[in-house]
Chains A and B, each alone.
Chain A
Amino acid sequence: MNVWELIIQQPLTNVLIVVAHFFGDNFGIAIILLTLLVNLAMLPLTLSQIRSSRRMQDLQPKLAEIQKKYGKDRQKLAQEQMKIYKESGIKPAGCLLPMIIQMPVWFALYQSIMLALAAVPEGLLNLARFLYPWPVVFSALPLNPYFLGMNLAQPNFILAILVGASMWVQQKMSATPSDDPRSAASSQMMTWMMPLLFAFLALSFPSGLSLYWVASSLFRIILQYRVTGWGTLRRRPSTDKAGKKYVTFESEDSKKPKAKPKDDVIITDKESLEKSRKKPSRFAKFFEGRDDDEQNEE
């Protein structure tokens, strides 16, 4: 057993089996619960990613402006872009880094689900070497693959549709509205291509994997809604002066007044320190449905 299997895959697989056992040998519930648990464990990273993306979105008009201004001078353009990022306190890698950190976890979760499904005899034989010496783990196997009448070891059309639909909603919510036709086109492409491809893949792979994709997407939808609202999912048609019809995207953020940049505060006296400690934490704010911007409004 290699390090990856020992540290990541084996614990996740055993937890999955134990959870399934304690929920009436229901593998579907185990997949959903473990997906939610892993999502919750990575909440700080996900939130950081969503917030970074949103800040990047907010900067789009400014970036477009300097693109227009210094489009031909690449060096100057890069300098100006960096300046804007610096002024706004944004690290361009801020969106990517949490995603990169999360990737191995998603991959491990996917592997564990496929492993625990043990849909074929070789799978069951392979699973044996991952098991902890807990009686509950051994007696729970093989797991019951049926969930709401669906065999999670087989592809399922309904779940494939749900994969596509939930992913589309998630993509749509997180898409960046842009005046630049090229950016808009690639954003539009992402919104459709990702859900379609995953729906097609779901038609070929065991639907346990689809259930995991759907649960993940739903979690991200809820998270995205709490942080940025419906985003570009809500749109209203408008007509310009020439009578041409356009679809303009209106995110929840655009309705809100722009956030004031945060000052670096250095607390020097005890009274202020106590006051600052009484303030609710970032997570508490999130779960109460308030976000940084709203705090700033206050």
Chain B
Amino acid sequence: MEKTVKTNNKNKTVGLIALLAAVIITIALFGFSCVSGLVPIGWSGGVESDGFMWVGSLEGRLVRINLADSSVLKTPDKLEYPQQTGLFGCSAASSCGGGASRVPVYATPAVSGNLCYIAGYNGKIYAYNTTDLATRWIYPWDRYLEAFVGGIVIGDNKLYVGCSDGYVYALDTVTGTEVGKYQTDDKIWGTPTLADNILYIGSFDKKLYALNADDLTLKWTFLTEGSIFSKPLVENGTVYIGSFDRNLYALNVADGTLKWKFMAGNWFWAQPVIVDGTIYAGCLDGFVYILDAATGAEVASPIPLNSALASTPVIYGNYIIFAAHDGFVYKIDRDTLEPVLIASFESSIDGPLALYEGIIYLQTNDAVLQRIDPETGALLPPIILVTQ
């Protein structure tokens, strides 16, 4: 009798422990699912080269799509994290709550010669042969830097990229050896722009840097009142840059002096585009601002697209194509300034758009490469970028 009571008590205790554990873990996981934006997903855009579209997949692979027959080739190995910290095999850097160890890719790949480069969120730069996607080199090969979020630019056999450790790195494109670096005062998540041998890059230290591309020495800096994420746009002796202080700045490329600034309702996250002296700048407040590139004056009322505009737009004929975070893609006629919805997706869009031979390419955050004919809004068959 006594033994039975003891066994019952023991079972009850075990049951209580299990119940308690389940409740706590459920609350924790439920909590994480309720706060979106805790898991790094990635938003790599596509880049075309020699009839191939190159894109970083959300599972941490470089993917090559033959645009003639839509055949897909992926790198055999996924990018990897150095080690998994945390109890459940995850850490804040490696997707807490998501439970996955995949390495997201935010940077759009860059192609030069017979190599394609990709920067991983795991803190490594990879160079692959364009023919068979075999790894040519990895930088750094023996350790991991902090996460790469910004993209790569290439010029004069050098590859430039900003890192979360605050450094701008210059690597030899052929060997991957470091040929220079420049330290900013905070992390860099933005993509640099190379124009006339000057490298422009924004940092979270609120400064835009203009560096000599040859040796990464400082030419000038411009201090804004907010961190800088967006990729600078250089046109006609002016560099345009959006800051987290909600301003779009126009600066002289020669000395970084301010020409004008324009304030919106939220951050200018994506790079704007310029056509015929007019700037079309998407903002996270969901509006497209249309400004005179010379003066910064508004030339028309902002166009509401009702969702954050984080994707870099593209110019297609007389249209500017914008993709909104909520998965809607619009074309804006430059004459009428009327937005026309051309496609909508269930998944969000945060990565840059690419245009090749009249087709828009974009990666939705369900790891699918969508193809849209902007003329008619017709969707071509989507290409799944992850291994199923």
Q: Taking beta carbons and an 8 Å cutoff, which residues of A are in contact with B? A: 107, 110-111, 114-115, 118-129, 131, 133, 135, 138-139, 141-142, 153-155, 181-182, 185-186, 189-190, 193-194, 197-198, 200-201, 203-206
B296 at interface, CB cutoff 8 A: no
B294 at interface, CB cutoff 8 A: no
**Given A128-B269, A193-B21, A201-B28, A122 contacting B88 (CB threshold 8 A):** no
- The 6 A-B pairs at the shortest CB distance, nearest first, are namely A126-B37, A123-B37, A204-B86, A120-B40, A122-B37, A204-B87
B206 to chain A, nearest CB (A): 8
User: CA separation between A201 and B21, bound complex, in Å?
Assistant: 11
Q: Is there contact, CB below 8 Å, between B87 and A125?
A: no
Contacts of B325 in A (CB 8 A): 125
Contacts of B24 in A (CB 8 A): 194, 197-198, 201
Q: Is there contact, CB below 8 Å, between A121 and B189?
A: yes
Q: Is there contact, CB below 8 Å, between A114 and B38?
A: yes
B136 to chain A, nearest CB (A): 27
Q: Is there contact, CB below 8 Å, between A125 and B92?
A: no
Interface of chain B, helix or strand or loop or mixed?
loop
User: CA separation between A270 and B144, bound complex, in Å?
Assistant: 78
Q: Is there contact, CB below 8 Å, between B246 and A204?
A: no
Most chain B CB atoms below 10 A, which of A128, A142, A203: A128
* Nearest-CB residue, chain A, relative to B106: A121
Contacts of A142 in B (CB 8 A): 204, 227, 244
Mask of B235-269 contacts with A, CB within 8 angstroms, 1/0: 00000000011100000000000000000011101
Q: Is there contact, CB below 8 Å, between B35 and A118?
A: no
Q: Taking beta carbons and an 8 Å cutoff, which residues of B are in contact with A? A: 9, 12-13, 16-17, 20-21, 24-25, 28, 31-32, 34-41, 43, 85-88, 90-93, 96-97, 106, 149, 189, 204, 206, 225-227, 229, 244-246, 265-267, 269, 284, 308, 310, 325, 350
A8 to chain B, nearest CB (A): 12
Q: Is there contact, CB below 8 Å, between B106 and A186?
A: no
**Given A128-B266, A154-B91, A139 contacting B226 (CB threshold 8 A):** yes
Q: Is there contact, CB below 8 Å, between B226 and A141?
A: yes
Extra inter-chain contacts (16) besides given A201-B24, A205-B92, CB under 8 Å: A107-B34, A114-B38, A119-B38, A120-B38, A124-B37, A126-B36, A126-B37, A128-B266, A128-B284, A131-B266, A139-B244, A155-B91, A197-B25, A205-B28, A205-B96, A206-B92
Q: Is there contact, CB below 8 Å, between B96 and A138?
A: no
**Given A111-B35, A122-B41, A126-B36, A155 contacting B246 (CB threshold 8 A):** no
Q: Is there contact, CB below 8 Å, between B149 and A121?
A: yes
User: CA separation between A111 and B38, bound complex, in Å?
Assistant: 10
User: CA separation between A122 and B31, bound complex, in Å?
Assistant: 17
Q: Which of A138, A189, A201 contacts B13 (CB 8 A)?
A: A189
User: CA separation between A44 and B41, bound complex, in Å?
Assistant: 42
Most chain A CB atoms below 10 A, which of B9, B32, B86: B86
Q: Which of B31, B37, B86, B227 contacts A125 (CB 8 A)?
A: B37
Contacts of A115 in B (CB 8 A): 35, 37
